[in-house]
Amino acid sequence: MTERPPVLSVRGLSVRFLLPGGRRVAAVTDAHFDVAPGECLALIGESGCGKSVLASALLGLLPANARTAGQARLGDLDLLTADERTLARTVRGRRIGLVPQSPAAHLTPVRTIRSQLEETVAELTGVRGRTALRAAAEQAAARAEFPAGHLDRYPHELSGGLAQRAATALALVGDAPLLLADEPTTGLDRDLVDRTVDELRRHVDTDGDRALLMITHDLAAAERIADRVAVMYAGRIVELADATAFFGTPGPRHPYSRGLLEALPDRAFTPIPGLPPELGDLPDGCAFAARCPRATGACTALPPFTGSVACHHPAPADRAAATEDIRA
Ligand code: SF4
């Protein structure tokens, strides 16, 4: 059987912000990953590690002082070099559905949620006629657990959680081949987190040609629906792993990934000491060295990414060796 091409293929993606005085901020450096048809890839890491900048680069929504390098192919289109007209007319909403990080800013403040949903349905699905549009908008709201009784409200009349669900409903309308969810569970309680991410997962499962890239710092949400996990630290992807192995046994291989899991309340509940480095002032070697329990002199050199991990001293990949490694 021939392997199907990825929905999204990112190669060497870097983003630099040029600041006054000649300063450069390395927001994303040399990111490589694919998202396959039928797959959910969770991109995880602490706030400020470059995850959302990477999402903005894929959507062509970076500010004017940003410079990109590398490739991000969505089918035959390179998202990094596509012009704004192409991105606006054929990509955003149609080929990439976006569940945004700040729904309040994404929703039009002077229009009700119903009218925004009806307009999006008309634009993306071709449904016509008042009754049909009304029914389709209500169906779209239900998919994201947005209550029908709130459809005639304006965005400022919604709680953060309801605004997030309204934005999710809008993102699902076009049934885009790639759903890009940027912190889709912000402001939701645990039960709603589960239902929201389950709906995102269903987007992939109901059509094996679709894919989901979920950017999140919510590891429980990632564990619930992801097939693979990409861990980002200081602008670089430092680990790419199968989700079952990552959250179970043998567990993550990169010390930062291990720290993220150990910080969870239902695990060791031990935070990673220290803070991430400034993206404008990164060290030459491993950016995690100052916080890393495994750091040695070798770590003053930048660890190469092997395809699964970027670390000079990663935990072993197999179960038995990993158990020994934890005991040591
Ligand atoms: S390269 Fe060294 S400092 Fe960096 S994560 Fe690995 S062991 Fe730690």
Asked whether residue 198 carries a pLDDT value surpassing 50, the answer given is: yes
pLDDT in tens, 66-83: 999 999 999 999 999 999
Cα of 230 from ligand 1 centre, angstroms = 17
Query: Between these two residues, 322 and 56, which has the higher pLDDT value?
Result: 56
pLDDT in tens, 85-116: 999 999 999 999 999 887 877 899 999 999 99
Work out the average pLDDT over 199-224. 92
Cα of 240 from ligand 1 centre, angstroms = 16
Cα of 66 from ligand 1 centre, angstroms = 29
Q: Are strands 8-18 and 236-242 parallel, antiparallel or unpaired?
A: unpaired
Q: Kindly state whether residue 117 falls inside one of the protein's structural domains.
A: no
Cα of 310 from ligand 1 centre, angstroms = 8
Work out the average pLDDT over 239-243. 98
Q: Which atom of ligand 1 sits closest to the CA of residue 289? A: 3
Q: Kindly state whether residue 308 falls inside one of the protein's structural domains.
A: yes
- In this structure, which residue's CA is closest to atom 6 in ligand 1? 311
pLDDT bracket for residue 302 (50, 70, 90): very high
Q: Kindly state whether residue 131 falls inside one of the protein's structural domains.
A: no
Q: Which of 295, 278, 218, 299 has its CA nearest to residue 45? A: 218
Q: Which of 231, 299, 305, 308 to mutate to test the pocket of ligand 1 (most atoms within 8 A of CB)?
A: 299
* Per-residue buried b or exposed e for 253-284, using 16+ beta carbons within 10 Å of the residue's own CB: bbbbbbbbbeeeeeeeeeebeeebbebeebee
- Identify whether the C-beta of residue 230 lies closer than 8 Å to the C-beta of residue 40: no
Q: Which of 292, 296, 309 to mutate to test the pocket of ligand 1 (most atoms within 8 A of CB)?
A: 292
Work out the average pLDDT over 142-162. 92
pLDDT in tens, 178-187: 999 999 888 7
Q: Kindly state whether residue 228 falls inside one of the protein's structural domains.
A: yes
Work out the average pLDDT over 236-243. 98
Percent of the chain with pLDDT over 90: 79
Q: Kindly state whether residue 319 falls inside one of the protein's structural domains.
A: yes
- In this structure, which residue's CA is closest to atom 3 in ligand 1? 289
Q: Residue 31 maps to which CATH number?
A: 3.40.50.300
How many Cα neighbours within 13 Å face the side chain of 112? Answer: 13
Q: Which of 190-204, 249-263, 265-279 has the lowest mean pLDDT?
A: 190-204
pLDDT bracket for residue 144 (50, 70, 90): confident
Q: Which atom of ligand 1 sits closest to the CA of residue 312? A: 1
pLDDT at 327: 47
Cα of 239 from ligand 1 centre, angstroms = 12
Cα of 138 from ligand 1 centre, angstroms = 50
Q: Kindly state whether residue 104 falls inside one of the protein's structural domains.
A: no
Query: Between these two residues, 144 and 188, which has the higher pLDDT value?
Result: 144
Q: Mean pLDDT score of the chain, rounded to an integer?
A: 92
Residues near ligand 1 (Cβ within 6 A):
254-255, 286, 288-289, 292, 294-295, 299, 303, 311-313
Which stretches within the chain are classed as H helix? 51-59, 84-86, 103-106, 113-125, 130-143, 160-172, 190-205, 219-225, 243-247, 255-262, 319-327
Angle at 318 between CA 312 and CA 322, to 5 degrees: 70
Q: Kindly state whether residue 221 falls inside one of the protein's structural domains.
A: yes
Cα of 273 from ligand 1 centre, angstroms = 14
Work out the average pLDDT over 35-64. 95
- CA distances (Å), 9 to each of 34, 36, 163, 228, 240, in order? 4, 9, 31, 15, 14
What is the rounded CA–CA span in Å between residue 16 and residue 21? 14
- In this structure, which residue's CA is closest to atom 1 in ligand 1? 311
pTM of the model: 0.92
Cα of 27 from ligand 1 centre, angstroms = 20
Work out the average pLDDT over 128-153. 94
Asked whether residue 320 carries a pLDDT value surpassing 70, the answer given is: no
pLDDT at 323: 54
Asked whether residue 304 carries a pLDDT value surpassing 90, the answer given is: yes
Asked whether residue 1 carries a pLDDT value surpassing 60, the answer given is: no
Q: Kindly state whether residue 160 falls inside one of the protein's structural domains.
A: no
Residue 253 belongs to what domain range? 8-95+176-327
Structural domains counted in the chain: 1
What is the rounded CA–CA span in Å between residue 81 and residue 93? 18
pLDDT at 126: 86
- Identify whether the C-beta of residue 199 lies closer than 8 Å to the C-beta of residue 168: yes
pLDDT bracket for residue 250 (50, 70, 90): very high
pLDDT at 252: 97
